[in-house]
Structure 1
């Protein structure tokens, strides 16, 4: 199946996309960014295989996913470059030019394959971020006591001033008096 051959290529390309990697590493969007990026890879691979897409259309899909899922807008033309690269690889795959495809993929920079972790439910749409209220980590009582003491020893926090533009908050450092 074309999807099975194309999906690993999409993973490699998205693994090398700096904008996506930075968005995930810096927690842009909702929690669960790595899983969202993995689901994005599934969505992009299916979109390319199931549609007759051109560079402009795929660029728009990538820009929309980055904006909606990671609250990130790329001003560096990278979504267009990623779209062109993916469609080029898909064309090579469809045309049966496997040797040329393999050479081009191998020529790409090597990076940590953080998108290649298997996803159990590939039908989940990219919008699924998980529940931010889930607290599955536990800490020892000693750590909780230390945290409580630190919180109690701090003076009342200074209020943050909100910028008139919604969605932005001005954060100022505390100064000791």
Structure 2
């Protein structure tokens, strides 16, 4: 019962997570990123409901999922913010503070609900592995199926924002990774 109430909240929070949305939109990780994100939402909701979670553990889980499933490392502390929101909303739900919960949800920014699309009731991924380790994948000719997928340097991720100038590539960032940083207020 708690899972059924908490899962839409997880979807809403993950729908608003820019790092996850960019990773899915730009084809980071294995093909089928939207389905992977939906399964990730199921996994996170179950993890939170079935375990006693704290912010550090949940932050680490989110970072691991982004890294392993989407080959994305967030340098903007967004996994910590997402974990904090998830724990706050879960505690409000458990304590029966539905009016406060509803008010906080309504105060969240409105966004396209791309994670709430219907999907099969499949089990969330139990093992997180590197998609490059798949021995059945073709080894040289990786034709891209989606036209909006950026090149290796991730220029498409930054070019869609008018006020953001592309940052120089850090030497410690491997090709194929998208760097997500905090916004600087002017």
Which structure 1 segments of 5+ residues have no match?
138-164, 170-177
Partner of 2:107: 107
Mapping of residues 52-131 of structure 1, within 5 Å: 52-125=52-125
Q: Which has the higher contact order (CA 8 A, sep 6+)?
A: 2
Q: What TM-score results when the alignment is normalised by the length of structure 1?
A: 0.72
Q: What TM-score results when the alignment is normalised by the length of structure 2?
A: 0.69
Change (3 A) 1:132 1:112: farther
Distance 2:87 2:125 in 1: 22
Which structure 2 segments of 5+ residues have no match?
139-144, 146-171, 177-186
Measured against aligned partners, the alpha-carbon deviations of 1:60-94 in whole angstroms (never above 9, x if no partner) come to 00000000000000000000000000000000000
* Aligned-pair CA distance for 1:124: 3.8
Task: Please identify the structure whose Cα radius of gyration is greater.
Answer: 1
Aligned length: 138
How big is the alpha-carbon RMSD for the aligned residues of Structure 1 and Structure 2? 2.4
Equivalent residue of 1:39, what SS? helix
Mapping of residues 41-56 of structure 1, within 5 Å: 41-56=41-56
* Aligned-pair CA distance for 1:121: 2.7
